[in-house]
Structure 1
Amino acid sequence: MKTTVPIYQLKRKAKLLARQTSTPLHAALDRIAVEQGYRSWSLLSAKHAETSPAEILYRSLKQGDMLLVGARPRQGKTLMALSLAIEAMKAGNSAFFFSLDYTPADILGRFRALEVEPQRFGDQFSFDCSDAINAGYMIEALETAAAGTLVVVDYLQLLDQRRENPPLADQVSTLESFARKRGLIIVFVTQIDRAYDEATKPLPDIADVRLPNPIDLSKFSRTCFLQSGSVAFRPNG
């Protein structure tokens, strides 16, 4: 699928350009817009508001899907996962965000980076950063979740960091069965192996997912990978 650039990545690039060149931010934004093929930032912003990468990806998801969202650090993978949660809530569904990495303050900051106030969604959004998060913990928390609920797991490689937790492969299989049975969409944020080299491969793919413990990657029905502002999503397999 043709790659697209999330608007938050473009804003970040414009802010950096403004600092480096002592250019007013509005001028830097327009310059970035021209690089993307638009006459001005306002036109680019309007176009992205119509069809953001998260919106396009969310429309392609179906109940029971297991999605991998992967990237190297600071490439926007958690923002993409949160954007998908926001799209689900815009569509009238609930979203759960389970994180073994972020704090409540962190996730609030991510909402603000996306220029969205979480209060807008009321009780549609639930955030949990308990150290006890694993497949069983999440299934218990999702006991009453309705079909169509989108669940973010942040992130895959931390699910079995505690010795008492089941093997990662078993947890993924359990969550796959649960998602299909209940009609949920589960989004796993995933790390990319440090051996990945952007110079030889513009975007990582499923072969680059970091796997400290073996799992069956065919359990994931779709993938989304990000790098340097580009995004690619496709069915897995």
Structure 2
Amino acid sequence: MTALVNYEAEVAVLGAVLVDGTLIKDLELEVKHFYHKNHQLIYRSMQKASEQQEFIDIPVVTTHLGKAIHEVGEVSYLLKMAESVATTVNFKHHERLIKDAYRIRKGREAALKYTSNPSEEGLDALIKNLQHFREEGANRQEKTTYDYLIELTEEMYASDGPTGFMSTYQELDDMTGGWQKGDLIIVAARPSVGKTAFALNLAASHCKNGDAATIISLEMGSKQLLQRMTSAEARVNGQKWRTSSFSEKDYQQASLAVGEISNWDLTIFDKKRTISEIRYAIRGQIHQNPDAKHIIIVDYLQMIIPAKQYDREDISIGEMTREIKLLAIEMEVPILLLSQLSRGVEARHNKRPLMSDLRGSGNIEQDADLIMFLYREDYYQKETDKADVMEVILQKHRNGPVGTVELGFFKEYGQFVGRG
């Protein structure tokens, strides 16, 4: 039975917005939907801040509340609400609970008014009011099965190629169909194999198509990543950044590369550590440029600080991959999540990664739409006829084939090239 008032849901929604201010753009609530007077005042202040394009946090909300801060329970009440939020994943569910309670309250008011003075006209008015409250408080309805079938048919006839975002590596694109909106894509390898270099090449390819790439780096700073991208684009040996032994040709090619990169729709965050901060950054990028074709790269999973501590690492990792997958679906963007592999790989004769080598593999496998392992034979064997070859092993593909694609990898530049 739905309660007339849902205090916990109101606190959960307001606390979520205080934690991640971009969430207010996804809410369909009005001030009247809140039952408690102090919550109405807080939400109205949040709306004002949003209308003025301000960054919503506790100090901003406090400023907009003004003297009313005393009515809502002082700043300590806002802090308490924010601290009560372990995750914002369920904030849309809490929004629905608030609307459910609102509809029940309004329906009860209308029914009591009718029972105090029943009549035929009153009954008609009651039915009309109940229908109005039902529609007014409801969330936007999900599409029907028929709507989706029509949409699929239209897309099928309108499509003239793959539906995803191309990587520019033809053989890889043929297998994946491109990076699909809403997909969680895992790119995993042992340290120093080339995960970050691969991700930077994918971001560069996406930007060259005129699209938007966001990189959230938990391991390297923005300057270091841009150095690596410049080396790959200019074909300048990455070691030269340390020795400053550039040739005249290096200077010319690097200058051209820097000029090109400066025109890309590329954003790098290197100070986001928690899952909440990462989620906030991604939401902000999508809301700032909603019409762009975004890809998101997070480097890397095991360095993310979870919302809460668990006794087992696999549970912690599972919580984070689930949140990132839900965010990919909600924001309708592909998210490439880099991951380390366990040392178990080193104990085998065949060093090619297996699904069991993923740290927290069961949870990652469940949430991921695509899992790719990177493997280089010359990482383990100095004398090999496969020098400068990177195997991209598609181990799981929820909606397509699996297999191995070979790419050329010039380590000195951090550059990947197709071998077709």
TM-score of the aligned structures, taking structure 2 as reference length: 0.39
- Matched AA of 1:129: D
Structure-2 change in CA distance of 1:82 and 1:153 (3 Å): same
1:158-183 per-residue CA deviation (whole Å, 9 max, x = no partner) reads 11278679943223222211111221
Pick from 197, 203, 216: which aligns with 2:346?
A: 197
Structure-2 change in CA distance of 1:221 and 1:169 (3 Å): same
User: 3-state DSSP class of the match of 1:196?
Assistant: helix
Identity over aligned pairs, percent: 20
Cross-structure match for 2:297 = 152
Structure-2 change in CA distance of 1:207 and 1:164 (3 Å): closer
Cross-structure match for 2:265 = 124
Matches of residues 165-176 of structure 1 in structure 2 within 5 Å? 167-176=316-325
Q: What is the distance in 2 between the residues matched to 1:69 and 1:216?
A: 11
Q: What's the offset of the Cα at 1:199?
A: 5.2
User: 3-state DSSP class of the match of 1:112?
Assistant: helix
Structure-2 change in CA distance of 1:202 and 1:99 (3 Å): same
Structure-2 change in CA distance of 1:67 and 1:163 (3 Å): same
Structure-2 change in CA distance of 1:196 and 1:76 (3 Å): same
Cross-structure match for 1:101 = 219
Structure-2 change in CA distance of 1:64 and 1:163 (3 Å): closer
Answer yes or no: is the 8 Å Cα contact 1:154–1:190 preserved in 2: yes
- Matched AA of 1:222: L
Q: What is the distance in 2 between the residues matched to 1:67 and 1:197?
A: 24
**Structure 1: gaps spanning 5 or more residues:** 1-49
Q: What is the distance in 1 between the residues matched to 2:221 and 2:172?
A: 23
Q: What is the distance in 1 between the residues matched to 2:296 and 2:374?
A: 20
Q: Which has the larger radius of gyration?
A: 2
Q: What's the offset of the Cα at 1:134?
A: 2.6
Whether 2:370 is the aligned partner of 1:222: answer yes
1:49-82 per-residue CA deviation (whole Å, 9 max, x = no partner) reads x746776677532111111111112211111111
- Matched AA of 1:124: D
Q: What's the offset of the Cα at 1:234?
A: 4.9
Cross-structure match for 1:232 = 393
Instruction: Give the total of aligned pairs.
Output: 186
Cross-structure match for 1:74 = 192
Q: CA RMSD in A?
A: 3.1
- Matched AA of 1:217: E
Q: What is the distance in 2 between the residues matched to 1:217 and 1:136?
A: 22
Structure-2 change in CA distance of 1:57 and 1:190 (3 Å): farther
Q: What's the offset of the Cα at 1:102?
A: 0.5
Cross-structure match for 2:328 = 179
Q: What is the distance in 1 between the residues matched to 2:173 and 2:307?
A: 35
Which has the larger share of helix?
2
Answer yes or no: is the 8 Å Cα contact 1:58–1:87 preserved in 2: no
